[in-house]
Amino acid sequence: MQQQRTKPNPIDELRPRIRTRLEEATELLLCLDFDGTLAPIVDDPDEAAPTRAVSNVLEKITDEPDVTTAIVSGRGLADVRERVDGPRIYAGNHGLELERGDSVAVHPIARKRAARVDAVCEALEIALDPVPNARVENKRLTATVHYRSVPEPARPQVERLTRETVSRFGGEGLELSTGKAILEIGPSIDWGKGNAVGMLVADRSDGTVPIYIGDDVTDESAFRTVEPRGVGVRVGDDAPTAASGRVRSPEQVASLLEWFATTGVERVRNGPVP
């Protein structure tokens, strides 16, 4: 059953609850979104990179034996893997591809529909060519149309042309969704980040506490997966969400990760402090 969306609490108010969970836990599973969470949002998607503070703390926490770190991104797996180094697990294309150890699992229906995504991207390159700064990101299993740098009056045109093209070349097999100044094109199947995170939780022992930190609409299914056994943390304002906690920015994400890398790890390892 889906949790209702409510206003998230500032993370400081949740720390006692998280501390108690960690004291009872055998392991921490830390699942992290990329854009807007580890990396600040920028105009050019090619320029997105984790902050220095995030990189430093990730280097520390990924070495911890009691912590498993996973990146769960809307980007293609190979792309996000190049941008953030260290974690043991990577999920790309909103969970449609999942790399654990030496194996990469790809959703079979998404794999079959990749040719349609490619056809849509080719058609979109032509259709959107006259629109200044519109950009198509072909991620193989899904695609993104970026309009962050498109002048305001031309944005409805981007949406119209994208809808028409997806409907013409994707048919029933592809669908459109929205994100931060983007339109996402993907297979019309009931699978998202929450399913990928569910697989990761199922892989771990019962004593694992899962944490998910993310900033966008596609992160909501992952928040629902980790709550209430673990904790969802939304990056942004206090708009209603399935996450129980929130931080304001990637800078605050780095501080929270630092807390997990020190206090969090210590509590998992040693239990309550007498």
Binding site for ligand L263DTV3 (CB under 6 A): 33-36, 41-43, 45, 48, 73-75, 137, 139, 144, 146, 148, 179-182, 184, 216, 218
Closer residue to ligand L263DTV3 in complex, CB, 8/268: 8
Amino acid at residue number 20: T
For residue 137, count other CB atoms closer than 10 A to its CB.
Answer: 19
CB of 94 to ligand L263DTV3, least distance (A): 7
Report the C-alpha gap between 89 and 83 in whole angstroms.
Answer: 14
From the candidates 33, 79, 215, 216, give the one annotated as an active-site residue. Answer: 33
CB of 270 to ligand L263DTV3, least distance (A): 33
CB of 139 to ligand L263DTV3, least distance (A): 6
Q: Tokens representing 87?
A: 């974690």
Closer residue to ligand L263DTV3 in complex, CB, 22/242: 242
Closer residue to ligand L263DTV3 in complex, CB, 35/99: 35
Closer residue to ligand L263DTV3 in complex, CB, 35/220: 35
Strands, E, within the chain: which ranges? 9-10, 27-32, 67-72, 89-92, 97-100, 103-106, 135-138, 143-146, 174-179, 182-187, 208-214, 231-235, 245-247
Residue 33 is among the residues annotated as catalytic for this protein: yes
SS3 50: coil
CB of 129 to ligand L263DTV3, least distance (A): 19
DSSP state of 100: E
Amino acid at residue number 108: P
Active site residues: 33
